[in-house]
Amino acid sequence: MKVSQIEAGELRRALSKSGLRIRTGPFVSHVQSPIQDIADGVQLFYKDFDCQSEGFADFHLKLVRPRNLHRVWRPQVTCSLNDESPFSPLPSDQAFAVLESLLNWSIYTTTYNYLIIHGATVERNGFAAILPAPPGSGKSTLCAALVSRGWRLLTDELTLVSPASGLISALARPISLKNNSIDVLQDYAPHEVFGPRIYNTIKGTIAHMRPPTDSVTRMHEAAVPGWLIFPKYQVGASTSVTPLPKGQAFMSLSSGLVNYPVLGVQGFEALTRLIDGTDCFNFTYSSLDEAMAWFAELQPPSRQALAL
C-alpha cells in the first residue's frame, strides 16, 4: 500500500510502535519513531511510496527523544541504525533531517553491490545526467530545478551504478536544499511542495522538496547514463560549458567516489565504462533559466565503442 493510504493518526501509531517499512528503489527501510515531526515528514514526503508493516528490511532505523535532562529545556533526538548509534544527539526539531541523513548513511556504510558516486542524477528521454557534487557546487539546486522542469528524479545525493549492467538505480527520495537555495527554489518552482525549514543544522538551514509522483512511481526503472556534468554555481557568472576530456573527467570524479576502492576490478570496470559511455562537461552557472535551457538542448551522448 502507499503511505498516503494510511490515515495520519494511524501512521503516527504505526511508526511509534512496530514501525513502517518504506521501499525506496532497491532498499526497504524499517523506520521506527514516536516523534511527531517524523510522522509529519513521512506523510508529506513519502506519500507516494510503497510501504508495509512486515517483511524483510534492509535497514532498521530508530529515532527517539532520549530520556535525559535535555528533554526539559532542549529536547534532543538520538538515532540508531541496526542498533548502533552513528551520530551524536541533535536538537529534536532536526529529527526529519536526521532521518534523511540516516537513510543515506545506511546505504553509504553497507552497500558494495553498487558503485556509489556522491552526486545527483536526473533522467529524460532515456538518458541520465549525473551531477557529481563537490561542496558548494550547487548540485541540489540544479537537481531540484531540473526536476521541477520535468526531468525524472533518480537521486539527489547518492548515485548508484550497477557494476553488472552499468545502469543507474533510482531512490527517488526528497531533495535536500540548503540556505539560499531554499528561497531560490521556492521562487523558481512555487508549484513544488516544500517542507518546513529546519534551522541550525550542521549545514545551516535545510528544507526538503517532495519528489514528483511520477519519479516515485518509476523508481524501479533503472537509467542509462548519458552525461556526466560537473556543476559549479558561481554568483553572477554567465553559463559556461567546457567539454571535459575523459582522463580529466576520471580525475574530477575520483573525489566523489564513495566506495570505489572496495569494489576492486569491478569498480574500475564500472567506472571506466561509465566515463566511456557519457559526454562529460564542466558546467558553470548562476542563472537557473539559462541552465535549464542548456540542459533542454542536450543531445544523446556520442558513445564510443561500448555495449550497455
Partner 1 sequence: MPEAWRAANLLTKSWPDGVVVYNLDSGSTHLLNPIAGQVLKLLIDAPADSKTIACLLAGQIDLASDAELDYNIASLLKHLDSLGLIEPVPA
Partner 2 sequence: MILDPIIERALTQPQTLAELSELQWDRLIQSLRRLGLLARLQVLLAEGGLLDAIPAQPRLHLESARIVADNEQRIMRWEVTRIQRALEELSKPVIFLKGAAYLIAGLTVAKGRISTDVDILVDKADIAVVEAALLKHGWEHTKVDEYDQFYYRVWSHELPPLRHRERRTTIDVHHTILPLTGRCHPDPKKLLAGAIALEGSDFKILAPADMVLHSAAHAFQDGDLVRGLRDLVDLDDLLRHLGVEAGFWDRLLQRGQELELTRPLYYALRYTSMVLHTPVPEAVLEQAKNFAPPGLAGRMMDRLVIHAVNDRLSGWRRSIQTFSSWVLYMRQHWLRMPPFLLARHLMHQMCRPHKFRTDLG
Contact set for partner 2, span 10-69 (CB under 8 A): 26, 28, 54-58, 60
Backbone torsions φ then ψ of 10, nearest 5 degrees: -65, -40
Q: Which is nearer to partner 2, 43 or 266 (CB)?
A: 266
And the C-alpha cell for 112? 558494495
| Among candidate residues 308, 306, 307, 285, the one with its CA nearest the CA of residue 295 | 285
Residue for cell digits 529524460?
Answer: 124
In angstroms, give the least distance from the CB of 150 to partner 2. 32
HEC per residue, 233-298 = ECCCCCCEEEECCHHHHHHHHHCCECCHHHHHHHHHHHHHHHHHHCEEEEEEECCHHHHHHHHHCC
Return the DSSP state at 212: P
Q: Using the rule CB under 8 A, is 245 a contact of partner 1?
A: yes
Instruction: Tally the C-alpha atoms within 13 A of residue 294's C-alpha that lie toward its C-beta.
Output: 22
Establish if 303 lies at the interface with partner 1 (CB under 8 A): no
Between the alpha carbon of residue 34 and those of residues 66, 201, 204, the distances in Å are 11, 21, 25
- Dihedral sign computed on CA atoms, order 46, 47, 48, 53: positive
188 near partner 2, rule: CB under 8 A:
no
Closest to 150 measured CA to CA, from 178, 188, 122, 187: 122
Closest C-alpha to 307, from 280, 269, 273: 273
Quick check: 268 binds partner 1 (CB under 8 A)? yes
User: H-helix or E-strand containing 101?
Assistant: helix 95-110
Shortest spacing between CB 161 and partner 1, in angstroms: 16
Q: Which of 83, 125, 247, 299 binds partner 2 (CB under 8 A)?
A: 83
DSSP code, position 237 = P
Q: Does 276 bind partner 1 (CB under 8 A)?
A: yes
Minimum CB–partner distance for residue 95 and partner 2 (Å): 23
Among 213, 217, 272, 287, the residue binding partner 1 under the rule CB under 8 A is 272
Residue 53 interacting with partner 1 (CB under 8 A):
no
Task: Report the residue from 235, 265, 305, 307 that binds partner 1 according to the rule CB under 8 A.
Answer: 265
Per rule CB under 8 A, is residue 247 in the interface with partner 1?
Answer: yes
Total number of residues that touch partner 1 (CB under 8 A): 15
Give the one entry of partner 1, partner 2, none that residue 245 binds, where binding means its C-beta sits below a cut-off of 5 to 8 angstroms depending on kind: partner 1
Q: With contact defined as beta carbons under 8 Å apart, do 30 and 61 qualify? A: yes
C-beta of 88 vs 304, nearer to partner 1: 304
Class of residue 134 by CB neighbours under 10 A (exposed 0-12, middle 13-18, buried 19+): middle
263: contact with partner 2 by CB under 8 A:
yes
Q: Which is nearer to partner 1, 132 or 195 (CB)?
A: 132
- Can you tell me which of 221, 246, 290, 301 binds partner 1, judged by CB under 8 A? 246
Determine the interface stretch with partner 1 among 1-9, 24-32, 164-172, 256-264 (rule: CB under 8 A). Answer: 256-264
Residue 81 interacts with partner 2 (CB under 8 A)? no
Q: Per CB under 8 A, does 264 bind partner 2?
A: yes
Distance between CA atoms of residues 17 and 25, nearest Å: 25
Q: Residue 83 binds what, of partner 1, partner 2, none (CB under 5 to 8 Å, by partner type)?
A: partner 2
Which residues lie near partner 1 (CB under 8 A)? Answer: 245-248, 250-251, 254, 260-261, 264-265, 268-269, 272, 276
Which residues lie near partner 2 (CB under 8 A)? Answer: 26, 28, 54-58, 60, 82-83, 110-113, 261-264, 266
